[in-house]
Structure 1
Amino acid sequence: MERQLLIKEERKEFVISELIYFEVTKLADGRQLYEASLAELELLHIREKIKLARKVTVEQII
């Protein structure tokens, strides 16, 4: 059980660092990233990656 909590916290820290890389520092409702649940952070992370992927052109891929 304790190991699972550690893994969850490590994942949360990783996702927060990724979001900061994407220049996201708060949630839409104004809360700080560390106040969000892992599920909320994961969803936000996915949305930010989608935004980034939409900016990539075919020429950049080839």
Structure 2
Amino acid sequence: MISYEPFFDTMKKKNISSYWLIMHGLSKGTYESLRKGKPCSTVTIDRLCTLMDCDVPDIITFKKD
């Protein structure tokens, strides 16, 4: 199972709000999908890494069910 828990941890560590991400190009729908743990594209992961100046493991992790 893919988890976005690192994404929210990274947001907190970098003091980045959902409002900031949305104002810098992330759609509200995409943010809500991440919040609900729904799948997202590698394009979205790339965008988040660019916006937040971080690496993929700072956004997602794999957890065995």
TM over 0.5: no
TM-score normalised according to structure 2 size: 0.35
Structure number with higher strand proportion:
2
Structure number with higher helix proportion:
1
TM-score normalised according to structure 1 size: 0.36
